[in-house]
Structure 1
Amino acid sequence: MPVDETRTMHPEPRTAPQPRTAPDARRETPPYAGWLVRLMVVGLVLAALNLRPAITSLGPLLEEVRTGLGMSGAVAGLLTSVPSLCFAVFGITAPRLARRFGPASIVCAGMTAIAAGLFLRPFLGGTPGFVAASALALVGIAVSNILLPAIVKQWFPDRVSTMTGLYSMALAVGTSLAALSTVPLTKALGGSWQTGLAVWGVLAALALCVWLPLAVKHGRDRRAATAAAEAETPGVEAQESAAAVPAPGLRMVTSRTAWALACFFGLQATAAYITMGWMPQIFRDAGISAGTSGMLLALTMAMGIPLAFVIPRVATRLPRQGPVVLFLGLCGLSGYAGLYLAPAGGAWAWALLLGVSNCAFPLALTMIGLRAKSHQGVVKLSAFAQSIGYLISIPGPLLIGVLHDASGGWGLPIALMAALMVPQMVAGVLAGRNRTVEQELAA
């Protein structure tokens, strides 16, 4: 059953005499002290809080940013596609970087990039500088996005659903907090959109303060374990390398389940980034104030706070996750229909329905943990599904801007959003089948 599979931390031992002391286990999972585990929990929460404010803080101020920088609708659409582009291009490098430097070190570097990008982007002047600094922050988000599911699998193998729910909930809190607070913060700090956007770098700096000692401690443990293994047996290093890097036969590109999960991840990311980037503007064009539009986006994102904890627990108890996928998809279709017919009249209801639909993200993360048996398999599947998925999602926000400029309204863009929900549901049902990529590729 999938629930049992989430409890497997490593692949089956390669040799019978060492079932529980394989070199990979010694190197990758030292006996963590209680304080270190608690610090990792705090680190996961703070990292997750920083995975969306760079994006959702921009939506409520997009009109001011466009005016200040002289952006067209197409360029603004390109800006909302930058997250997906960075996640696709740089996310694929996360597993290799993690094997070389350790996951904690890479997440620490990611928090550094987020803080630097958020502090710098409003003050570099002009659209190119804004986009470049945004990309720096998004690179940090990309590698952290990939590695957090693997860190959960490595540190908490018996609590995958609980910890996935915890950091998914924290991610939703950060997302909704940025959407809700950016406009009031901007007004409180003097009314400058530059200051209103830069203030979110403080949250990333706080996360960096926690991840820095985690990275230092884990780096020392890795070096000590490697030195001890080399002193113990000359051939251990080769065994470690073989264990740390998944077998060549585990090629995600040949797995139908991995491709279905990548498509599901990509289409839900398309919907999420369109919502985060354009929904406040849709409401503003319908006559709703900027502050209320930010609150509506905050409601949409806040739905992930309780549901991001509930959905992973429900999903791990089901042999197939298809029913959850279909429920979320129907909520999305209902929200888009309302947004098309009466964007202002039922704004709060549409925001709520789209918020439920956006919880496909924690579901996708949970399925990554369920569809692979081992920590190494989760790393590869996470990198494949998220990188390919974000690559798929790149055109969506850009097309919304182009269609809006071409048609002069939001009818065609909303129709496109609704149309994309159908293949998302199909891919999610296929990805939710009761199997793992290791079983599939072995067969």
Structure 2
Amino acid sequence: MSTAADSPADARPLPRTGPPTAGRAGSGAREGRPAPAPARTKYLGVLFAVAIAAAAFNLRPVVTSLGPLLDQVRADLGMSATVAGLLTAVPSLCFALFGLAAPALARRIGPVAVVTAGMGAITLGVLARSFAGGTAVFLLLTAVALAGVAVANVLIPVVIKRYFPERVGPMIGLYSMALSAGTALAAAVTVPLTSALGGDWRVGLGVWAGVGAVALVLWLATLLLHRERSGGSASRAAERLPILRSRTAWALACFFGLQATGAYVTMGWMPQIFQDADISSSTSGVLLALTMVVGVPVSFVLPNWAARRGDQRIFVVVLAACGIAGYTGLALAPAGAPWVWAALMGLSNCAFPLVLTMIGLRARTSGGVAQLSAFAQGLGYLISIPGPILIGSLYQATGQWYLPLGFLALLLLPQMAFGLRAGLPRFIEDEAVRPVAPAAS
């Protein structure tokens, strides 16, 4: 995937339609400043922004629409609690496997084309799994949808860095806000929507394919109008970047993996935690929605704040502290102040837009962001895989939530440690490339 400096005209950064992001968020502008674009390109920029928001809106209903209906799905398909825990781990596995492949696909056919294919996979998988007759088929079709989520997860930050290099913070904010909105809406309305449509969980999950179809149409229009090309010397350089030498890349991957563990346990198990505390299924769905709703405004403003600072460590500490308080409250008195615990967990889960912002800021070029995004998200999701399975096993073994929630609170300590390292103002290119020894005189 080429950068703006050496790519053809149809891969140049799009013109600014708002104020640039201050600080390091504008570092991508070093990749080159194109000549003023025609009006068509300006409209294409608006279409890009709308398509990015629509894609983000579809990246979590695959998971959060399932949480409130998990008991019905388990009963109908004969799932044990351990298998249900495996189901909550499937997103991480798919994100790791398919996310690592995303940059290679993007270099071959372009990131816009890959994200478009991802939207198609989400739409197909969500629709088809509502007809599944057994656990294995349900898991397989969920994996198809999650493959689409995986490539979009990795490549949308790359699209933002490449086409909006001076607005990384605001565009990541738009992306994160839309993602949080989709997550919250799916959690809040899936149960009442299912009831209104006859009470069948298959219908309640299947209707989200319609939302995916809207995003697919927008990305198809973007792909047809954009006619993106791949290749270029910068993409070859990024392919050779020895990212394993970068301590910042490793810190970002570990930080990403630990925050993903907490986020997917929350999305998969929070309704069950509240239901075990004698809170109704509809209320537990609303509480999960509150967790996501809290992230909507925070996810919009946090990337802007973080991008304006060279150092993001203060945000790492504050979000981890919210998570520790939330898990403690859920363990000791889940029904005592459920709205407070849900809000604190929502703030803690805003580590996701924070790490996305740091990924965009820790590389100088869109090619560097592509490699860093794939490495941090691919390895990060691999790190997160055991967490949801372990939580399900601990819950099944003890029948209580004290031990699982205590374990999640402890995980926030290493998450904070890695986040403090990742939040330092560094560029992976500077760490990954060995300095050349001076020639002997």
- TM (normalized to structure 1)? 0.90
Among 80, 83, 91, the alignment partner of 1:75 is: 83
**Residue equivalent to 2:422:** 431
- Measured after TM superposition, the shift of residue 298 of structure 1 is 0.2
Among 368, 376, 381, the alignment partner of 2:372 is: 381
Aligned pairs (5 A) from 1:98-109: 98-109=106-117
What is the alpha-carbon distance in structure 2 between the residues aligned to residue 362 and residue 140 of structure 1? 19
Q: Which moved more, 1:407-416 or 1:324-333?
A: 407-416
- Measured after TM superposition, the shift of residue 218 of structure 1 is 2.6
Between the two proteins, what is the percent identity of the paired residues? 56
Among 38, 41, 51, the alignment partner of 1:33 is: 41
Distance 1:149 1:31, change over 3 A: farther
Distance 1:32 1:161, change over 3 A: farther
Post-superposition CA distance 1:178-234 (Å, at most 9, x none): 000100110010000110011111100010110002112333x53xxx8xxxxxxxx
Q: What RMSD over aligned residues (CA atoms) do the two structures have, in Å?
A: 1.8
**Residue equivalent to 1:172:** 180
Q: Secondary structure at 2:26's aligned position in 1? A: coil
Is residue 102–residue 218 contact of structure 1 (8 Å, CA) maintained in 2? no
Is residue 6–residue 373 contact of structure 1 (8 Å, CA) maintained in 2? no
Q: Does 1:281 align with 2:260?
A: no
Residue type of the partner of 1:7?
A: G
What is the alpha-carbon distance in structure 2 between the residues aligned to residue 103 and residue 317 of structure 1? 27
**Residue equivalent to 2:54:** 46
What is the alpha-carbon distance in structure 1 between the residues aligned to residue 239 and residue 365 of structure 2? 15
Runs of 5+ consecutive residues of structure 2 not aligned to the other structure: 1-20, 436-441
Distance 1:135 1:248, change over 3 A: closer
**Residue equivalent to 1:147:** 155
Aligned pairs (5 A) from 1:172-321: 172-219=180-227, 221-222=228-229, 241-247=232-238, 250-321=241-312
- Measured after TM superposition, the shift of residue 310 of structure 1 is 1.3
Q: Does 1:6 align with 2:25?
A: yes
- TM (normalized to structure 2)? 0.90
Distance 1:334 1:319, change over 3 A: same
Among 396, 399, 403, the alignment partner of 1:408 is: 399
Is residue 5–residue 372 contact of structure 1 (8 Å, CA) maintained in 2? no
Distance 1:54 1:214, change over 3 A: same
Q: Secondary structure at 2:241's aligned position in 1? A: coil
What is the alpha-carbon distance in structure 1 between the residues aligned to residue 116 and residue 330 of structure 2? 40
Is residue 299–residue 353 contact of structure 2 (8 Å, CA) maintained in 1? yes
What is the alpha-carbon distance in structure 1 between the residues aligned to residue 286 and residue 242 of structure 2? 44
Q: Does 1:331 align with 2:322?
A: yes
Distance 1:247 1:112, change over 3 A: closer
- Measured after TM superposition, the shift of residue 440 of structure 1 is 1.8
What is the alpha-carbon distance in structure 2 between the residues aligned to residue 7 and residue 437 of structure 1? 16
Residue type of the partner of 2:26?
A: R
- Measured after TM superposition, the shift of residue 30 of structure 1 is 10
- Measured after TM superposition, the shift of residue 314 of structure 1 is 1.3
Aligned pairs (5 A) from 1:391-406: 391-406=382-397
